[in-house]
Structures are given as structure tokens and as C-alpha cells.
A and B are shown apart, each in its own frame.
Chain A
Amino acid sequence: MQCEDVARLLPETVDGSGPIDLAVQSHIEACLRCQAELARYRRMLRALQQLRTRYLEPSPTLLAQTLAALEEVGERQAVRSLLSGRRLAYAGAIGGAAVAAAAATTAVLLARSRRRAAALRLAS
């Protein structure tokens, strides 16, 4: 096992998420250079974890812009839902009117045909 081999493995073994090969472990225990390299990776990971609580300050307008964008989406959804409700109402009204018109036409045609039949009977 050479230092270069260990150096290649350190990035994935440094967080202790997987088992470390015994040969690697023995090499590190005996090699000051690899111990120093491992210590560098550990310091780097520790510092990265600390970065989690280093908050960045957003522009003062970000919150207002985000809430306004949400508001806009909410309004669009409300309008869409209103329109789809109206569309249903329109479709219902048109359907009802068509049925009524068909019924009226049928009644008129029936009445005409009865009048015509009566007139024929009188004539004969």
C-alpha cells in the first residue's frame, strides 16, 4: 500500500460512512504524511458542517417578492377555479336550453300534424 493509494481512498472514507480496509488503516497508523492528509480532510469536513449555520443575509426585498409571487399564484388559481365553475354553469345552461328548444319544436310539429289530420278528416 502506497501513500498515493491511500490518498485516492481518503475522500470517501473520511466521514466514516464505510468500512476502512485494514491495509489502509495500518498504512495510516505508520505514515505521518497520510495522517496529516487524513487530518486535513477531517478539518475540511468539520468546517463544511459549520458552514450550515453561517447564514447569508438576503436582500431586504426578497421576502416581500416571494410572498407577492405566492399571492399572484393564489389569485391565478382562484380565477381559474372561478372560470371553470362558470364554464360548467354555462355548459349546463346551454344544454338545458337545447333540451327545452327540442321539446318545444317537437310539440309544435305534433300539433301541426294533428291539425293537418283533422282538416283532412273534415274534407273527406
Chain B
Amino acid sequence: MKRYGTLLAVDRVSMELGNEVFALLGRNGAGKSTLIKMLAGIFPPDEGLIEICGHEMRRQSLAAKREVGYLPENLNLYPRLTIDEFLHFLGGIRRIEPSRRAGAIQELLSYFELWERRHILIRACSLGMLKRVGLIGALLGPQRVVILDEPLNGLDVENIRRLRQRLQELRQQGKTILMASHILSFVEEVSDRVGIIHQGRIRAVGSVQEIKAMAGNRHLSLEEAFFKLTM
């Protein structure tokens, strides 16, 4: 549970994620980002527990955070570091051995077409480049949970395709991916389960087909089902 003054941003949310891609859907102000920030260890919950891979976030925050890669919705990265320096910094903090770190960074930079531009300052990056840097930061390392808040903003079609492929690979590797997005077609395509959050409470959790069934008709589109469940 989380309050901001009198506003109850997240209210008695209880869920368990496994090896899957889980998409969190909700209107603006529904509590998605607050929930995600609590899961990433940025805010502590006012009440309740968050456990990441067996580590309780408040008591074992260091161990819990080692298991999480996080992409915030509003990216604000060090403007006077180059892309390469920033990623090496993240790799260092996550204790990736220097010999493996360079290779992992090169692989991800090449995958998201940033290898040639790795030496430019972050302040000179376009929105799309910045988003890719943030994504690489979230994916870099051995963490078992990846949390992505609005990962598609600013990405072009090609990079959305690459991200989709990478998410599927990560799921096959046994990782857990939690993402919040408003792009329902993408959600429908990549996610195993969907959670719909409304006014801080989880209204429905299940596969896309189950969500449609909960809305009363399996032939509805996800968008129509979403509106029915959040009315």
C-alpha cells in the first residue's frame, strides 16, 4: 500500500510473478508507476511486503536490487557521461567482471544499434537513443527480474521489434519481465499475463484470453476488455 498525502496511490495489491512477461495496464494516474517504483526499490511501501527472488525489499534491499534491472519512465541520465561510460558505470555497480562487462555492453549496444555511437555524450542523444541506453542499462547484467516502465516511448518500429525478440529470449532464459505500457497491441503480442490496475487496485489478472473472458466476451479486443474492466 502507498499513500501520497490523502491520495491512496496503491491499495492492497497482492500478486506473484514467475518466469513470464507480465504487463501492467492502467489509465494515467492508476498507480502503475508507483507500484513499479516500489518494486524497483525506489519507494518503500507504507504497508506490506515486496519480495524479489526471496529477498525482502526493505530488509535485504541490496540483495533484492541486485536481482532487478529497471527502466524508469522518465529517463534522466548523467548528461556529461558518454553512453559507454554510463553503461560501464552500471556494470561496475552490478559487479559484472570487467572482462565480461565489455563483451556484454558491446553485445547490447550492437543489438540496439548504438555501438558506433557509444562515445557520444548522453546530452547529445535523441529521445530514441536515450530510451535505448536506458533499456540496455536495464538489461545489462545477470539480474533475474527486469522492470520496464513504458519501454516503447521514443522507440522506432525496428527497435520495438528488437525489444520484442529480446524479451522473448529473456523469458526463455528463465527471467521475469514486468512492464507497464499503453501500447496494447505490443502487450497482447509479448505478454503471458496481464494485470489491470485501476485507482490503485488490481482489477483483473490473467492471460489476454482470460482478461477478455472476465470482461464478458472472448471476442472483444484487449482495448475493449480494458475499458469494460476499468469503467
A binds B: no
